[in-house]
């Protein structure tokens, strides 16, 4: 079983798992936002939520990122 770090009431997947995931749209690496418990795709300008330790890489669950949010990632 992989280790998980608790973040409040939510869990985030093991870092090794996150490093293997790519954006379903752009096929580029995702960036973890621990504050919001989500994976960010800079290329697609969306953030995918992580719920109960499971990344939901589905566009129906993703939220669109503003230009300001993307600038903060740089």
Kind and range of the H or E element at 63? strand 63-64
Total structural domains in the chain? 1
Q: Is pLDDT of 56 > 80?
A: yes
User: What's the rounded Cα separation, in Å, for the pair 30 and 11?
Assistant: 17
Q: What is the span of the domain harbouring residue 9?
A: 5-73
Using 50, 70 and 90 to split pLDDT, how confident is the model at 74?
Answer: confident
Helix, strand, coil % over all residues of the chain, rounded to 5: 20, 35, 50
Across the chain, mean pLDDT equals 87
pTM of the predicted structure, to 2 decimals: 0.82
Residue 49 belongs to domain with CATH number: 2.20.25.10
Q: How many Å separate Cα 37 from the centre of its chain?
A: 7
Within a 13 Å sphere around the CA of 71, how many CA atoms are in the beta-carbon half?
A: 3
């Amino acid at each position: 079983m992989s280790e998980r770090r608790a973040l409040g009431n939510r869990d985030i997947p093991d870092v090794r798992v996150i490093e293997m995931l790519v954006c379903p749209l752009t096929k580029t690496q995702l960036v973890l936002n621990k504050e919001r418990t989500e994976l960010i795709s800079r290329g697609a300008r969306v953030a995918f939520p992580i719920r109960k330790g499971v990344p939901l890489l589905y566009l129906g669950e993703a939220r669109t990122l503003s230009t300001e949010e993307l600038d903060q990632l740089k």
